[in-house]
Amino acid sequence: MMRDAGADERPGSGTLEPALVHEAETAHRSRLAWRQEQLRVWDLLQLVTPWLLLTVSTAIYFARVLPASGAPFWPEGATVAGLVAVSATWVLFGQTLPLRRRALRPVQAGVYLVGLLALCVALMTYSDAFLVFTVAGFFQAYLLRPWPVGVLGVLVTSVVLNGSAMRVGEDPSPDVLAEFLLIVAVQTAAIGVGILLTARSEPEERRREQLVERLEAALHENAGLHAQLVAQARESGAQDERQRLAGEIHDTLAQGLAGIITQLQAAERSASVQGETEEHVARALRLARSSLTEARRSVQALAPQELGRAHLPDALRTLAERWSEDQGIGARVEVTGTREPLSPAIEVSLFRVAQESLTNVAKHAEASRVGVTLSYTGTEVLLDVRDDGRGFASGGGTGFGLTSMRQRIRGVGGHVEVQSAPGEGTSVSARVPAIAPGGTRAEEIDR
């Protein structure tokens, strides 16, 4: 009894490990995306914070401090406005533009911090409102390299900030000095730890960010390569189709025409014998009809009209029904698994395998039944064509049709196996990746 191909296939088996791998890759991409977003937020803080603090300090000074002092705008207010303009220029050319261009060097960052603190001291001599602007020095210290220089930057910023706030120079009493030193020490230690941790982790995060960018570029490049491969596969398929038609014309039409010529020549030579002439003419007519049938089949094989009107499973059923009617051999089509949309190149290749396999059965197998099984397993699609014919010995499956079949399936990333033994029928199995029309795995469509 003939056993249908794919009966023992389990569409869901063997998919656990790829699912876990996909889940792990998704989680890793999520972590990378989150860390990359953190870096973007930190870079934005580095750019915006000095401007925000300078704006707040300036607004407080001109909106509240200067009017409350009763002093005229000239000369004190004008002097402060000039210092604010110089500070804005210093921030623009010393930090903002280099950061946006990713061109900030360690020495340049140190010089910028020294100039920033000097401007803060000058502004704080006019008003304590500019203590807010001095806090920008802590953010700049994170940009200093190596990290001990960054901790030193925090220390200097803390001394400038707290020294001006506590008026240490005006009241250098032991209590004030002790409080000042304690605040500076705690502040430096707290922020310095952050600088140390950042110095150790940020380079790795930057490298990962660059890796993600390179991966994205590689994905774009792979998309282009995929398009080229698809075009090459189509060209290869066309070439394989030409070779297949050339072989079929040689094996069918050419031989049929040669036989017709031979029979007509024989009829011409035996024109005097009525019975022999009729017999040769009848043979010639049979050969002509057979060759015409083969010619029509070859022309129809140029473009599978069944696939133009239906998807692969329905096209296979139509093909099997017509073949069964023409050959008088029972043919049954079975579809297992969940149907998925496939690339046209995949569907055409599988259809041609079924078509060629049925042709071979009609020519050589002397079978009484044929089973065609199409199996969707999620990551792959399997096509099995089995017959209960006479089969052939090992090494016999090397004809032109089988060679063309293997080339066609190999062109879409699959492979073909032919199993047969004398008296035990023949099985042709094609296995191809389940690639959707958009060029992705069919199993990814539902995700």
Show pLDDT as tens, one digit a residue, over the chain (447 residues): 344 444 444 344 344 444 554 555 565 556 555 555 655 777 788 888 999 999 999 999 999 888 887 777 888 889 999 999 999 999 999 988 988 887 788 888 889 999 999 999 999 888 888 999 999 888 888 888 888 888 898 899 889 888 887 776 666 788 888 888 899 899 889 888 888 877 676 666 667 767 777 777 777 777 778 777 877 777 776 776 676 666 556 555 665 676 677 767 777 777 666 566 777 777 777 767 767 766 666 655 554 566 666 688 998 998 899 888 878 889 999 999 988 888 888 888 898 899 888 888 888 888 899 999 999 998 899 999 999 988 887 765 566 677 878 888 888 889 999 988 888 889 999 999 988 876 655 444 444
- Identify the CA nearest to 137 among candidates 202, 186, 90: 90
Structure letter (DSSP) for residue 14: T
Helix (H) or strand (E) holding 88: helix 78-91
Summary count for the chain: helices (H), strands (E): 15, 5
CB proximity list for 170: less than 8 A, separation 6 or greater = none
Most distant CA pair in the chain: distance in Å? 145
- What distance in Å separates the CA atoms of residue 442 and residue 378, rounded to the nearest whole number? 7
CB 61 within 8 A of CB 129: yes
Give me the amino acid identity at 250.
Answer: H
Long-range contacts, 296-299 (Cβ 8 Å, 24+): 297/359, 298/245, 298/248, 298/249, 298/252, 298/253
Instruction: Work out the burial of residue 188: count CB atoms within 10 Å of its CB; fewer than 13 is exposed, 13-18 middle, 19 or more buried.
Output: buried
CB proximity list for 307: less than 8 A, separation 6 or greater = 315, 344, 347, 348, 351
Question: Could you tell me where the beta strands, DSSP code E, fall in 302-402?
Answer: 330-336, 369-376, 380-387
Angle of helix 78-91 versus helix 106-124 axis, rounded to 10: 170
CB proximity list for 231: less than 8 A, separation 6 or greater = none
